[in-house]
Each structure stands twice: as C-alpha cells, then as structure tokens.
Structure 1
Amino acid sequence: MLYGRQAEQAAVDELLQAPSGALVVRGEAGIGKSALLDYAAAKAHARVLRVNGVESEADLPFAALHLLLRPVLDHLGALPQQQAEALRGALGLGGPTRGDRFLVGLATLGLLVELSAAGPVVCLVDDAQWLDGESADALLFAARRLHDEPVAALFAARDGEFPARGLPELWLRELDAEAASGLVAEQAANLPPVVRDQLVAEAGGNPLALVELPRMLTAEGARSCRCRSPSARRSR
C-alpha cells in the first residue's frame, strides 16, 4: 500500500491505460519514486523492461541501455539493417564501429515498437539521474516519438537532475501528517503512539525515513522517548 499517493497512482494508471506515452517522476531521495515504479510494474498488463541507473557506470556509454534491452536483443533482426548494426555496435555486439546516437535512438524506438506488436510494453527507468548520457539520449529520443504504439515509458529521477524536455513530469512531495502516521503505524505498530508521533515529526514526510527510523530505534531509545514525553514528565 502506498500511503498518501492516490493522485500519483492515478497518474500512473492513466499512463498505463493510454495508447502510449511517457512520464518523468521527480522528487528528493527517499520520497517514494521507486515505490511508484514498483506499483507500475505490478499494475501493468504488459511486458516490463526495467533498469536502474548506476552511479559507478554513469561514464560507460550505453551501459544502461544494454541492461534494459538485453532480454530482448534477439529481436534485433527485425530492425532495418543500418539501425540494427548501429545498436549492435553501441552495445558491443557487432564490429568496433562507434554507435551513431541518432541511429541508436531510432533503433531503440524501433525495437520497442517491434516488441509491442506482440503486446503492450512498459519501460521503467529508476535513478535516471545516473544514466550514462548515451543511454539517456536514446531512451528520451524514443520516449518523445511514441505515438499510437502500445509502449509506455516511466522515468524516476531526483530533483533538478536528468533533463527531459518535452516529457510530462510528476513531482512527489512529502506525505501529509495523516499518510505519514499511517505508514509509521504499519511499520512500527509495537511502538507507543507518542514515539510514533515523534518519528513522524523527525521524518518530515519522507517515506523512506518513515520506514527506516523505526528499524533504527532501539528498545532503549523508545523508553527514552517515553520519558521525555509530556505525560511522562507530568507523572513525576
């Protein structure tokens, strides 16, 4: 269950139900971008291709594109020869030719369209701010050119990173108090209400913090929080 994300889930549902389209989910670290992509993966009645940007591979050309397309590279033969050769070269599967970015973008689009002939396709790209530049260019090139093909692309990136001009964006904000309290209650039902209230205040509406803080809280820390509560001080 995603607490306080009904509007965002509705936006993802709309994307998945549309003939085709793309969406960039933005927000700070821990705000729930990956959880929203997990929701999309679970709800999609489609072939799901997924990749996570890896910071240590951000300088390796086409590294992320290779991870994303590796399960479907057996379909390369359906592409025009020039595009197929460019994509093979970019992914290190062909001759030592340098991958032409335009042709690689066309080939990426063509491969997704080819896959969609057998059924809808959903591409999920997490931590897009860490994609290598060549992979980002190819995926954005394809995402901007989706028309009536049953292909959807959902990117998740941190605030102010991963420029994606021309694509709609969905910003994730902090959870409100009610949603934050519900999440903490689910994660830490054994903690006293006053302690859960303190965790909600400390987390500032960040879902990851709301999940991790209860795990970090020791039994001694919980007792200490109870001792500092107003009711505990009045009882002394």
Structure 2
Amino acid sequence: MFYWFLKWVAIGPLLRIVFRPQVEGGDHVPDEGPAILASNHLSYADWLFMPLTLSRRVTFVAKAEYFTGTGVKGWLQKTFFSGSGQVPIDRTGADAAAGALLSAKRVLGEGGLFGIYPEGTRSHDGRLYRGKTGVARLALETGVPVIPVAVVGTDVVAPPGKKFGSFTRPVVRFGRPLDFSRYEGLENDRYILRSITDEIMYEIMRLSEQEYVDMYATRAKEESKRADAAAAEAAAEQKKAS
C-alpha cells in the first residue's frame, strides 16, 4: 500500500530523523477499533506529524477536487492524498459539512481512526478557537469514543502563510478517550452538541496549553484581516498628510 510506503519508506523516516517528534499518551489510542482523534490545528503540517506517532493509519477528509484531477498532475495528486490517509468528502446529495460527516462515518464503520479538526480551519495566531459541533454529532451518531489531541510546535516548523519555518521538535499529546454514550439519542439537541464540543475543546486546551478564544476561527480571521486593512489605510492616510 502506497500509504505505508509514504509513511515508513519516504516521508516518515525523514521527518523522524530531522524533527524527532515526541509523543505523550500514545497508549490512549486503541490498537484496534474505531476512534475519533479530535485535534487542535496550528499548521498544515499537523496531519503529517500526528499520524507519524502512531502505528495505525489515521484518515482525514480532503476536498474532492484533490481526487478528480486529470493528467499526470491529477494522478499524482490523487495518489498522494489517497496514499497519505485522506479520503474525499462525500457530497452525494449533501453539502460539504454533511459530506464530511458521511465520509467520516464510513471510515469509523470500517473500524478505522478518523482525524478531525473541530476548529474547522488553522489558527492564524496560535490560539485555540471555538469548536464546531460536527465532532459531537459524529460521536453521538457512531457511538465512537473521542480522543483529544494536542499537536504543539508545528506552527514553528510550518507557520501559517509560509511553506517553511524554523526547527523545533513537535510534540503530540493524546488525552484519555472521552465517552459520550450517556447522550445517546440526543444528536439533534443543539445544546447537548454544544456541551459535548466544549468538553472536547477544554481537553484539547488543557493538553495544548493554548489560550482559548470563545469565537469561531473563521470569524477571528476575518476580523484580523479587517483590522490589518484598516491599519494599513490609516498608515497610508497619515503618510499622505505628512
């Protein structure tokens, strides 16, 4: 399988030798059976380092466009994403969020490990943002435990907006599995979904030691961009006046 070649023969040994990632709490991940790995998201490198610390394959969802390209480039792209543990979002009769849920349920139904970033996007400033409730719905609809994960240092290796950063040893911390079976049958209760998601985010915050912001990351990014634009406009006006 190309995934194992990619992990152990190609990229894996190089990342291990150069960055020597550390793992804590790896025994919280079961040797077999389904589980949801809910992680913080500091860098595009997160999906490389977190699975590297485990012997089992971790599957993430990716945009369907990565799997439908044509020609040599399309084949290479499809082979890479398929081989590195990613599956396309299943948009059959569904939007992106519902399609991701369908893909995730299929992976878990086959007894696999499914990786998810509850924040929905990378943090632009290193802080931990409010989680979206899709992770809670997935946990309730599948009855699968959620393992909180903190990946630390990847934003130094690959900072947001840059392809490369500087050297550090990333740390991957796995928390104790969270069981939400007490809420069985309540997957349509938005208050329950929010409560579960907040519990997951609290454990991720505890593991990562990040500052928590009770705001969605997408909104925070938009506000940051507006503030930067306003500051740039003010500086330009001040320069004209001087």
Judge same fold: TM > 0.5, yes or no. no
Structure with greater proportional helix content: 1
- The alignment's TM-score, normalised by the length of structure 1, stands at 0.32
- The alignment's TM-score, normalised by the length of structure 2, stands at 0.31
Structure number with bigger Rg: 1
